[in-house]
Structure 1
Amino acid sequence: MTPVSWTFDASDGGGLTIKTDVTGKASKLGHRLTIAMKSWTAAVDWSGDIPTAVTLTAEVDSLDVVDGEGGVTPLIGPEKILAKSNALKTLDAKRYPQIRFRSDDIAAIETGFSLRGTMEIHGVTREMTVIVTVADDGTKWHCASESTVRQSDYGIKPYSQMLGAMKVVDEVTVFFEAERTKPSVNPPKG
């Protein structure tokens, strides 16, 4: 059987999104952010119908603050730019320009696959298991996952203001979605 590799990016009907929360005595002042990673790629290596390896790489400087819930005022243009700047500083994007996940320990589960691998963020690599659900609508596969990442596990000090009275919660939620069109069983006749 010839190995096959699939490559996904933001154009494949999905995305890589991070959601934050806020805590502290002044948490009502802060926004719960939705951050989209605009530049990412994922590759899946296959042997027949079994995935054998998965890699995902996100470019840290591609992060974009797309929404902010809560806060005293709405999160608009200048505040989004400031939130992005703070996030890039917190992640030290110039020194650590990429976030990477790699797995070659993949197990089929009822709803999709369990991927045991390593996550590298901020120059720190840790073991992580990601559950990917796969739904088949007949014409395409829809892949999705939701994982929690603790910033401090990767040497990141969560952003804070007002001497810690308002700070980003250590755990952030990472969402991934992508679609893959199924190969045509009966190609159109020309």
Structure 2
Amino acid sequence: MSTESWTLDAADGGQLAVRTDVVGKASRMGHRLTIAVTSWTATVEWSGDAPTTVALTAEVASLDVVHGEGGLTPLLGPEKVVAKANALKSFDADRYPRIQFRSEEITAVDSGFRLAGTVEIHGVSRQVAVDVTVADHGDRWHIRSETAVRQSDYEITPYSQMFGAMKVADEVIVTFDAEYRVRP
């Protein structure tokens, strides 16, 4: 049985991002953000035609606010810098510089695979299951996932201002989208 290892990262055009929402009485004033993680690496170990292990490491300091919807004013450069600083502070990025995931069980499902394993965020480890959609295009695989994560599960206090009248929702959506070119 042949073994193979795939490596995917942001340099190959893959995207790892976090989408936030805003809650509270003054939520209309805030922006729903898309925050890209610009430095990450994922490895997939294969045995024959089945993946056996998936691991992902993301560098928290590489967060970059790329888009904001809503709010009273457009999200411009200076506001993006402030939003990034607030996100890094919420993550306590100096103390917890990485987010890591490692699968412990991989199950084939209709659209791809379910990865069950351990994720560590903000120094807290939890068991999670992530559904990954895979499309085999012959010369390349397109891999996607979208997963809800509650910040409070990882002892992260969502950013807030105006005494909590406007704050980032506890639940954020983590998205992953990458392609792997299959070697001939």
SS of the residue aligned with 1:78?
helix
Cα distance in 2 for partners of 1:136, 1:50 equals: 13
Residue 49 (str. 1) matches residue 49 (str. 2): yes
Cα distance in 2 for partners of 1:139, 1:6 equals: 14
SS of the residue aligned with 2:95?
coil
Question: Whose radius of gyration is greater, 1 or 2?
Answer: 1
Q: Which residue of 2 aligns with 1:59?
A: 59
Contact 2:159–2:168, Cα closer than 8 Å, also in 1? yes
Q: Can you list the C-alpha shifts for 1:61-117, whole angstroms capped at 9, x where unaligned?
A: 000000110001100010000000000000000000000111030011111000000
SS of the residue aligned with 1:148?
strand
User: How do 1:2-151 residues align onto structure 2 when only pairs under 5 Å count?
Assistant: 2-151=2-151
Q: Which residue of 2 aligns with 1:187?
A: none
* 1:2 Cα offset (Å): 3.7
Cα distance in 1 for partners of 2:88, 2:163 equals: 20
* 1:13 Cα offset (Å): 2.9
| Structure 2: runs of 5+ lacking an equivalent | none
SS of the residue aligned with 1:90?
helix
Which amino acid in 1 is paired with 2:13? G
* 1:178 Cα offset (Å): 1.0
| Structure 1: runs of 5+ lacking an equivalent | 185-190
* 1:5 Cα offset (Å): 1.0
SS of the residue aligned with 2:163?
helix
* 1:140 Cα offset (Å): 1.1
Q: Can you list the C-alpha shifts for 1:102-141, whole angstroms capped at 9, x where unaligned?
A: 1030011111000000110000000000000001223211
TM-score (norm 1): 0.95
Cα distance in 2 for partners of 1:26, 1:42 equals: 38
TM-score (norm 2): 0.98
Cα distance in 2 for partners of 1:77, 1:47 equals: 46
Contact 2:8–2:14, Cα closer than 8 Å, also in 1? no
